[in-house]
Structure 1
Amino acid sequence: MTRVLKTIAGGLALGMGLALGSAQAQEPIRIGVIETLSGPSAVLGQHARDGFLLAVRQLGGRMAGREVQVTVVDDELKPDVAVQRVQTMLDRDKVDFVVGPIFSNVLQAIHAPVVNSQRAFLISANAGPSTYAGRGCHENFFVTSYQNDQVHEVLGAYAQSRNLRRVFLMTPNYQAGRDAMAGFKRHFRGEIVDEIFTPLGHLDFAAELARIGSSNADGLFTFMPGGMGVNLVRQYRQAGLVQRVPFLSAFTVDESTLPAQQDAAIGMLAGMTWAPNMDNPQNRKFVADFEAAFGYVPGSYAMQAYDAAMLIDSAARATGGNLSNRDAVRAALRKADFVSLRGKFRFANNHYPIQDFYTVRAAKRADGKFQTEIVDRVFTDYTDVYAAQCQMRW
């Protein structure tokens, strides 16, 4: 297998695959991966990129007998930059699929250019905003993660089941943060004592922690991905709030943040569709292969991107490698004929997954590495609440 590195639109383009045997060989399947690969949240994009590339590597660099070329670009967590780089992938690189991104505001920026193109399908391997799950659903848009609200609904249901009467909410002020608040409230019937929307990228939580400490809340629910979560957990532990106000979160304590949080995060609960210790053959192999290849514990971002690659492979196989018939490719994507790392997986009519959801807990492994581990299943075969508003039927 050959690897070709070159610069594209200020990002890193990585071509993976076997060289074409002759001038008559089929054109490669071209996939553009757009992730946040710089700044405090770069680790999230790194997980997604590495998970996707591991899947392509395990497929031998080919899908349905065709070479696979993967172009990876950095969106810099800037919607305008993302649009420019996606447009380059569509116009110059002629990609068949765009995979990514991490953040919902970036997804909202690139959604229309991709789904309205004449060639590419958009597959989100992380961001799952409510805006495209209901009336805004689109036949050329698929999600291999979740609808944003759902993971946060896990914590709302957990808080309700544990009889937490008064909860403090804190999320970043963008679409995913608003979806997180809505998700938590869907199953929580107690009192919301306060709500804080912080700026995206916020790192100093001294003022917010003072408000939490004086709120007499029974628990904190938060969503702070990447560097925001690293700082929040450290500062929360230092402030002595862990025992007084139990910490419930999503994407705040996970495999992307635990290497930096370490002991400060142990025991903190989160919600997710998967954890590295999920006990099925495909997941055990994935985690072992990922750690061997990249030297760190994979998180949900890596798992979801791996599944996105396998979803594309399933569509390529179903169409015999012929991607020119968009209706046939779309129908094959809808079938999701692949073995997901999380076990049960299928699409609802809005192209968001139907799947199980769990509470997970941050833990330290015997080898000294940190990971989340499954505690309890909270929802089974769960479809997001917006799917009923989607007009697509198939």
Structure 2
Amino acid sequence: MLKRSVRYLLAGSALLAASAAFAQAQQPIKIGFMATFSGPVSVPGQEMYDGFMLAVEERGGKLGGVPVEILKEDDQFKPEVASQIVTKLIERENVPVIAGVVGSNVMMAVAKPITDKGVFLVGLNSGPSPLAGASCSPNLFVASWQNDNISEVVGQYANDKGYKNVVLMTANFQGGKDVLGGFKRYYKGKILDEIYTPLNQLDFSAELTQLTSKKPDAVFAFYPGSLAITFVRQYQLAGLLKTTPLLSSGILEIPTIAALKDSALGAFGGSFWGPDTDNPVNRKFVEQFESKYKHIPSTWAAQGYDGALLLDSAIAKVKGNLADKDAFRAALKQADFKSVRGSFKFNNNHFPILDMSMYEVIKDAKGRYTVRTVATPMKDHQDAYHNLCPMT
């Protein structure tokens, strides 16, 4: 009788242990999602989040077959605020992964504190040059692009158009400097001037007067978020759109051209993706995004969606065991998923190798403002800094 009781007790203990292990296995993986959701640069953050969450919702609230809890945080585009959020996410919430980050100013402030703690950072927009080069990290994976990429292709386009001299304009932050640096790397003409404005500046009349006096063949400009709308509108009001072609990277996003309407038609910009990218994953993404959010997805949304697909593939490979950091790191590096951009491959520095294209602003058959691919001058393009990264 005693032996039978012991057997029942042992069996019951084993059942409880198995139940506890199953319950533990089903505990949601916490993922911190930090981006800018307020202020003049809030649109990219919300678009990234919408794209990311679309992929999560398509998978029933799971990534890699495991439930996930997404902790949404607004960094306000301020490095000091972002640093406080990171501390909370790591020390209080014990997140193994943080995704997002809109601004390079924020990325430069948080990348090292996150990765040095053994937490993985999946960048969905910002790709500062230092982090692609000597300051690369085994725990940092940028699923979007290196900042220079989107302007390098425009520099080549300016050569092709025969523009002999240009003026460059951007906001005075790391991302803007990187974008202008990319343009200059490929542009062979003369730079008449480089104009840097504060991130919070909304009146560009003095700078536009300054560049008008220089009579450039074209202007290349980069401004993030709603600053892009403000800048292009003032550029148009100054009469410059009729006399001086405006080239850009990061300005001709879907929300921006929807606000600018006809004034943006015929403008060109460089990127790695457009809504008309022709592959099954992208067609499904665009259709699902339009159905849910009632507008054409932007590049920011595509980056967020791809970031979720990257995590989905890596979490599945480690069967939800993110505590095995070496295995999870290897799974992220492998990037075994079908991307909205077609193929996806990380370079040695954990930045993607990309096809870079030029896009023209058009109206589609429904009368909506969007972009279409007109050329892909760069195939399998590697960023300019990967050789400085010691990782192999």
TM-score band (shorter)?
A: over 0.9
Cα deviation per residue 1:203-235 (whole Å; 9 max; x = unaligned)?
211112112222110100010121111011112
- What is residue 124 of structure 1 aligned with on the other side? 123
Q: Distance in 1 between matches of 2:96 and 2:62?
A: 14
**1:330 counterpart letter in structure 2:** R
- What is residue 242 of structure 2 aligned with on the other side? 243
Cα deviation per residue 1:146-178 (whole Å; 9 max; x = unaligned)?
110111111111111211100110011010111
- What is residue 14 of structure 2 aligned with on the other side? none
Unaligned stretches of 5+ residues in structure 2: 1-19
2:64–2:311 contact (8 Å) kept in structure 1: no
CA RMSD across the alignment: 1.5
How is 1:33-48 mapped onto 2 (pairs within 5 angstroms)? 33-48=33-48
- What is residue 10 of structure 1 aligned with on the other side? none
Equivalenced residues, count: 373
Deviates more, 1:258-267 or 1:146-155: 258-267
How is 1:67-86 mapped onto 2 (pairs within 5 angstroms)? 67-86=67-86
Q: Distance in 2 between matches of 1:41 and 1:389?
A: 31
Q: Distance in 2 between matches of 1:372 and 1:80?
A: 36
- What is residue 4 of structure 1 aligned with on the other side? none
2:254–2:297 contact (8 Å) kept in structure 1: yes
**2:283 counterpart letter in structure 1:** R
Q: Segments of 4+ in structure 1 off by > 2 A?
A: 20-27
Deviation at 1:264, TM superposition (A): 1.5
Deviation at 1:259, TM superposition (A): 2.3
- What is residue 9 of structure 1 aligned with on the other side? none
Deviation at 1:59, TM superposition (A): 1.5
**2:26 counterpart letter in structure 1:** Q
**1:29 counterpart letter in structure 2:** I
- What is residue 17 of structure 1 aligned with on the other side? none
Deviation at 1:77, TM superposition (A): 0.8
- What is residue 270 of structure 2 aligned with on the other side? 271
- What is residue 101 of structure 1 aligned with on the other side? 101
Q: Distance in 2 between matches of 1:36 and 1:153?
A: 26
- What is residue 50 of structure 2 aligned with on the other side? 50
Q: Distance in 1 between matches of 2:373 and 2:24?
A: 50
Question: CA, structure 1 residues 244+58, in 2 after alignment: closer, same or farther (shift >3 Å)?
Answer: same
Question: CA, structure 1 residues 24+205, in 2 after alignment: closer, same or farther (shift >3 Å)?
Answer: closer
Is 2:219 aligned against 1:215? no
- What is residue 87 of structure 1 aligned with on the other side? 87
TM-score if structure 2 supplies the norm length? 0.92
Deviates more, 1:223-232 or 1:59-68: 59-68
- What is residue 134 of structure 1 aligned with on the other side? 133
Q: Distance in 2 between matches of 1:262 and 1:201?
A: 24
Deviation at 1:90, TM superposition (A): 1.1
1:344–1:356 contact (8 Å) kept in structure 2: no
Q: Distance in 1 between matches of 2:251 and 2:117?
A: 35
SS at match of 2:67: strand
How is 1:1-394 mapped onto 2 (pairs within 5 angstroms)? 23-118=23-118, 120-393=119-392
Cα deviation per residue 1:84-108 (whole Å; 9 max; x = unaligned)?
1121111122212111101000111
Q: Distance in 2 between matches of 1:387 and 1:25?
A: 38
SS at match of 2:276: coil
Deviation at 1:376, TM superposition (A): 0.5
Question: CA, structure 1 residues 61+183, in 2 after alignment: closer, same or farther (shift >3 Å)?
Answer: same
2:132–2:146 contact (8 Å) kept in structure 1: yes
1:115–1:141 contact (8 Å) kept in structure 2: yes
SS at match of 1:338: coil
Deviation at 1:24, TM superposition (A): 4.6
Question: CA, structure 1 residues 208+24, in 2 after alignment: closer, same or farther (shift >3 Å)?
Answer: closer
| Structure whose residues are more often helix by fraction | 2
Q: Distance in 2 between matches of 1:131 and 1:210?
A: 34
Deviation at 1:25, TM superposition (A): 4.3
Q: Distance in 1 between matches of 2:292 and 2:305?
A: 14
SS at match of 1:98: strand
Q: Distance in 2 between matches of 1:276 and 1:65?
A: 28
Question: CA, structure 1 residues 248+114, in 2 after alignment: closer, same or farther (shift >3 Å)?
Answer: same
Deviates more, 1:366-375 or 1:294-303: 366-375
**2:48 counterpart letter in structure 1:** A
Greater radius of gyration (CA): 2
Question: CA, structure 1 residues 174+27, in 2 after alignment: closer, same or farther (shift >3 Å)?
Answer: same
Deviation at 1:135, TM superposition (A): 0.8
Deviates more, 1:277-286 or 1:58-67: 58-67
Q: Distance in 1 between matches of 2:200 and 2:44?
A: 14
Q: Distance in 2 between matches of 1:334 and 1:389?
A: 18
SS at match of 2:377: strand
SS at match of 2:273: coil
Cα deviation per residue 1:58-97 (whole Å; 9 max; x = unaligned)?
1221123321110111101111001111211111222121
1:47–1:256 contact (8 Å) kept in structure 2: no
Cα deviation per residue 1:260-291 (whole Å; 9 max; x = unaligned)?
21112111111000011111111111111111
Unaligned stretches of 5+ residues in structure 1: 1-19
The percent of aligned pairs where both chains have the same amino acid is 44
SS at match of 2:168: strand
TM-score if structure 1 supplies the norm length? 0.92
Q: Distance in 2 between matches of 1:344 and 1:247?
A: 31
**2:139 counterpart letter in structure 1:** N
**1:383 counterpart letter in structure 2:** Q
Q: Distance in 2 between matches of 1:288 and 1:211?
A: 44
Question: CA, structure 1 residues 353+22, in 2 after alignment: closer, same or farther (shift >3 Å)?
Answer: closer
1:156–1:188 contact (8 Å) kept in structure 2: yes
